[in-house]
Amino acid sequence: MDNFTYYNPVKLIFGKGKIASIGKEISRNEVNRVLMLYGGGSIKKNGVYEQTVNSLREAGIEFIEFGGVQPNPTLEHARAAIEMIRENNLEGILAVGGGSCIDEAKSIAAGYYLDDPWSAFEGREKIVKALPVFTILTISATGSEMNSFAVLTNEEERKKWSIGSPNLFPRVSIVDPEIQSSLPRRQTANGGADALSHVMEYYFLLDRQEITLQVDEAIMRSIISSIDKLMEDELNYEARANFAWASTIALNGLSCAGLPNGDWASHAIEHGISAMHPEIAHGEGLSIVFPAWIKYVSRKRPERFLRWAKNVWNCDSIDLAVLTMKEKFHDWGAPISLREKGITAGEIAAIAENTLLQGLPGVFQELKREDVTNILKLAL
């Protein structure tokens, strides 16, 4: 095991009917006025909006609503939110949505105290404080409800980049799996591919961390079996709840215990893709890229990939495991090729260019331009 620090102060409240507690939780944190941030308005159809607003009112929390967060949340929208917070003297942010909404909330929380909210993403300003963030999760996938990372898209510069800081842990996150029953099948599938990818970004680097290898295999198997069950019956609460918790712990510090860093090359390539194509969801990009990355790099250290093939996919070879994973993603309804999303060979050079804007990605294998190009070709 390498040295590491585990620190995660998020209070995560999990279960049916728990949204009703958000008002009191915000109040307990001595916050009285929040920006209520959400996306396209699906929360007004599934009862989440009403439950949230009722809880805020009962606890005497004042709030100003701000909808319109995009699936790939944008710098422009975050800037507008910061303006609203300033104009209305708000004290915190309540994100009601999926990872996009929570990531934008964190970006706003940090950006509020910076000269320019984008400067932290570029590494020009350090995040030394942030507004308190509260979340009600509506789509399990990114784990953002229990970590300190955020990804934001600068549309003007076509950059989809990330920040991380201990100041960005949400104070309280509420995960009610029941409200996810009405999710479109496609979003459940993307969530599965996303959560699985988070574990894989660490797993293949593990070696002397037997406990973390075993825990990561447990999380991966649980993700796969829960999504399988949800594909048969979207109302299966136990499967929904198991997936929700699995996706939270896939990226809350547990899956990387004993490692200094993850690999994150597949994420970097995915960010390259969706920076150019903001209509592609994060989980979609990952379900396309990850199998190709494994095919390309696994020769370097086959024993770890073989263990993954056996213990996660019950397969005797790496190739068969990659094929099984692709079939699984496809059966769930997640894309497994760039072509499915309308991207052709002609765009590969530009995507590789965008991917490399922040330097060469990858730890397991540092990827040069040629490598990124080859992986994208495998993903065509």
> What phi, psi does 136 have (nearest 5°)?
-120, 110
Q: Does 230 bind a copy of itself (CB under 8 A)?
A: no
Smallest separation (angstroms) from a copy of itself to the CB of 243: 8
Q: Does 222 bind a copy of itself (CB under 8 A)?
A: yes
Sorted by sequence, the CB contacts under 8 Å of residue 290 that are 6+ apart come out as 193, 196, 197, 200, 266, 325
Distance CA 257, CA 2 (A): 9
The structure tokens 């609203």 sit at: 84
Q: Does 44 bind a copy of itself (CB under 8 A)?
A: no
Q: Residue 361: CA atoms inside 13 Å, Cβ hemisphere, count?
A: 28
Ranges within 11-40 binding a copy of itself (CB under 8 A) = 11-18
What the block records as the tokens of 313 is 């996919």
Ranges within 63-122 binding a copy of itself (CB under 8 A) = none
Ranges within 234-293 binding a copy of itself (CB under 8 A) = 238, 241-242, 245-246, 249, 254, 257-258
Q: Does 140 bind a copy of itself (CB under 8 A)?
A: no
Smallest separation (angstroms) from a copy of itself to the CB of 359: 27
Ranges within 330-349 binding a copy of itself (CB under 8 A) = none
Smallest separation (angstroms) from a copy of itself to the CB of 237: 8
User: Phi/psi zone of residue 364: left (φ > 0), alpha (ψ -120 to 50 degrees), beta?
Assistant: alpha
Binding residue for a copy of itself, selected from 73, 170, 177, 361, defined by CB under 8 A: 177
Q: Are 293 and 375 in contact (CB under 8 A)?
A: yes
What dihedral do alpha carbons 134, 137, 143, 144 form, nearest 10°?
-40
Q: Does 217 bind a copy of itself (CB under 8 A)?
A: yes
What dihedral do alpha carbons 125, 127, 128, 133 form, nearest 10°?
150
Q: Does 8 bind a copy of itself (CB under 8 A)?
A: yes
Smallest separation (angstroms) from a copy of itself to the CB of 246: 5
Q: Does 210 bind a copy of itself (CB under 8 A)?
A: yes
Residues that bind a copy of itself (CB under 8 A): 1-18, 177, 208-212, 214-215, 217-219, 221-222, 225-226, 238, 241-242, 245-246, 249, 254, 257-258
